Each structure stands twice: as C-alpha cells, then as structure tokens.
C-alpha cells in the first residue's frame, strides 16, 4: 500500500525534524561535556597553582626567619626575637595572577605542654588555665596524657577512663606530637581547645624545654610566670618590649619571679607558619612548623 504524495512529504518532514532534534541533543550534550571537562581542567590548574603559591608563602617565611637569625649572628649581644621584627608582620604578595601571604607565630612565646613532666610547670599551667577561664583541674588530665606511667593524678585520667568510652583508646604516655592530639585528652572540649591554641604549644626541639620568650608571649602566658605578676607589672613589662636580655626586663620582674632565667628567654628558634594563597577564587592554606636551628620543616596540613 502506498501513501499519498502529501503524506509521504509530511513523513519526510517529521523524520527530518526528529533527526535534527536528535543531532541537537547530541551536540548540546557534547558541548556540555566539553565545558564540564574544561572547567574541571581549569579548577585543577587553579587548585595546583594556588597550592604552589601557598607553598611559596611558607618558603618566604622560612627565608625571613633564616635571614633574621643571620642578622642576629652579626651582633649576638643585641640578638632577640620580638614582635617588632619583619618576620612578625604579615604582608600580601602578588605572583602569577594570584596572591599569597604568610603568618608567622613564635612557638617559644607559648607554654610548652610537653614540659609538664618537669618540676614546677604543672603549677604554671594551672595559673595559665585560670587566666583563660579554664578549669584548673584539667591540667592533671593533660599531665596524665604524657607522663610515662599509669598512675592517675589527683584530678587526672589514665587508661582506665579512656577504655570505658564508646570509642575507646589509651593515652599516649609520651610527649604530644601535634596540637590536634590535645583534643583527645579528657575534658578538652572544642571551645577549650580553641582558647588554648594561642597560648600553648607542643613544638619544641627539646620536649622538656619550658622557656618562654617574654618578647612574644601573650598577657595570659606572662601572668602564668608567677602568682604575683599583677596587671601593673604586666603592663610595665609589655610596654618595655622588646628586651635584648632578661636583665633589661627590669628589677621588679626579677624580684617577683626568682627563677625567671629558668622559665624565660628572649630568643626563639621554633615558629609556626600559615601560608595562604588565592587564585581565581580558589583558596589554599598550608600550615607548617619551622625549626630554624636545624632548618627542618614539619608540614601539618594542607587545606
């Protein structure tokens, strides 16, 4: 049976339209896929570039700290590390169509948690906790985490406590390796952890090194030096910074803290660095710790 001529023409037209529609869909899909792959490639390119910019920021910070130490070596008697120096200033740099900056923090300006096994430092950390509005009894939990035994402190927690948790684990009984490990300690809530980040450290070449740089320490850390460091003495001390030696910190502080030479210093070699970069709205952050005494870098995270 043959279709009328008009019907055959109409069928051909419908077939042409169907083929055209199909080709359009195929072309649009191909275009979509090509654009998707192109965007993915562009994002990968920008992500990679931003990473290397952030790494450049870390390298710049290392160079600043190394140069600072070389300058100090030219006149050791006047050498100190303080917040008035170039390494302590954050500046933004432009490179390859993106921007990067490095923020450097002196880890020697903080209380070293790994020094808790040494005499006297538990009391000092309790004073720091009090200044920060943190329950002082939690210091025993921190000390129990790093001491080499399973003997529970007065208010502390040892293996028995941690093994009763839903997700059980045991204390390390050795020095902290990173600050994030502190979050595993009994009683250390996210809020308390954030408070402590600015005032305590675990990054020291010698774990039991408890000396704190008075030129870079926070008010709370300085007040932890002794029970009689009042606001007047604290303001006087901070106003006089930087100090080239402990003697220039003043007789008032020397008389208030008899063992100042044991717990304080004016020099530093361990610094934390945060390298930030941005390129075409892609952001990268690298966190690291630099020991310029041995020129070693510990990379903590890439975000």
pLDDT, tens digit (0-9, with 9 covering 90-100), for 5-36: 556 566 677 777 777 777 676 666 665 666 66
- Residue bearing tokens 């792959």: 37
How far, in Å, CA of 93 to CA of 56, rounded? 10
Question: Is the CB of residue 57 less than 8 Å from the CB of residue 275?
Answer: yes
Burial 104-129 (b: 16+ CB within 10 A, else e): bbbbbbbbbbbbbeeeebbebbbbbb
Q: Collapse the DSSP code of 238 into the 3-class scheme (helix H, G, I; strand E, B; otherwise coil) and give the result.
A: helix
The tens digit of pLDDT for each residue in 212-265 reads: 999 999 999 999 988 888 888 888 888 889 999 888 876 667 777 777 778 889
| Residue bearing tokens 């042409």 | 16
* DSSP 8-state symbol, 119: T
Report, as ranges of residue numbers, the positions in the chain whose pLDDT lies below 70.
Answer: 1-11, 23, 25-43, 250-252
Give the pLDDT confidence score for residue 59 in this predicted structure.
94
- Sheet strands (E) in 153-281: 200-201, 212-213, 264-265, 270-279
Q: Which of 286, 262, 257 is nearest to 273 (CA)?
A: 286
What local confidence, expressed as pLDDT, does residue 236 receive?
A: 87
Pairing mode, strands 264-265 and 212-213: parallel
Nearest to 274 by CA among 179, 191, 195, 183: 179
Residue ranges per domain, the chain?
1-132+199-303
- Scanning the chain, the segments in alpha helix (DSSP H) are 5-74, 121-131, 138-146, 159-163, 190-197, 219-223, 231-239, 251-256, 260-263
What is the pLDDT, as a whole number, of residue 42?
57
The predicted structure's pLDDT at residue 273:
97
H helices of 78-230, in order, are 121-131, 138-146, 159-163, 190-197, 219-223
**Measured between alpha carbons, how far is 96 from 205 in angstroms, rounded to an integer?**
36
d(CA 6, CA 15): 14
């Amino acid at each position: 049976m043959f279709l009328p001529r008009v019907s055959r023409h109409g069928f051909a037209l419908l077939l042409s339209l169907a083929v055209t529609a199909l080709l359009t869909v195929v072309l649009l899909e191909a275009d979509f896929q090509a654009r998707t792959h192109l965007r993915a490639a562009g994002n990968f390119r920008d992500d990679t570039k931003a990473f290397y910019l952030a790494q450049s920021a870390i390298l710049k910070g290392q160079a600043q700290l190394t140069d600072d130490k070389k300058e100090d070596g030219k006149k050791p008697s006047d050498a100190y590390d303080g917040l008035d120096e170039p390494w302590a200033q954050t500046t933004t740099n432009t490179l390859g169509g993106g921007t990067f900056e490095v923020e450097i923090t002196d880890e020697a300006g903080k209380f070293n948690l790994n020094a808790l096994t040494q005499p006297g430092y538990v009391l000092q950390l309790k004073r720091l906790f009090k200044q920060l509005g943190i329950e002082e009894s939690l210091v025993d939990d921190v000390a129990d985490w790093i001491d080499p035994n399973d003997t529970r402190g007065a208010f502390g927690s040892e293996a028995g406590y941690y093994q009763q948790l839903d997700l059980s684990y045991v204390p390390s009984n050795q020095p902290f390796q990173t600050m994030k490990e502190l979050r595993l300690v009994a009683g250390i809530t996210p809020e308390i952890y954030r408070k402590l980040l600015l005032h305590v450290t675990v990054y020291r070449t010698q774990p039991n090194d408890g000396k704190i740089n008075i030129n870079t320490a926070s008010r709370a850390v300085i007040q932890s030096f002794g029970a009689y460091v009042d606001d007047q003495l604290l303001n006087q001390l901070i106003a006089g910074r930087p100090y080239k030696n402990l003697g220039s910190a003043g007789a008032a502080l020397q008389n208030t803290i008899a063992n100042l030479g044991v717990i304080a210093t004016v020099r530093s070699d361990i610094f934390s660095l945060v390298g930030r970069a941005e390129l075409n709205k892609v952001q990268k952050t690298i966190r690291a710790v630099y020991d310029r005494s041995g020129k070693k870098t510990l990379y903590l995270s890439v975000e």
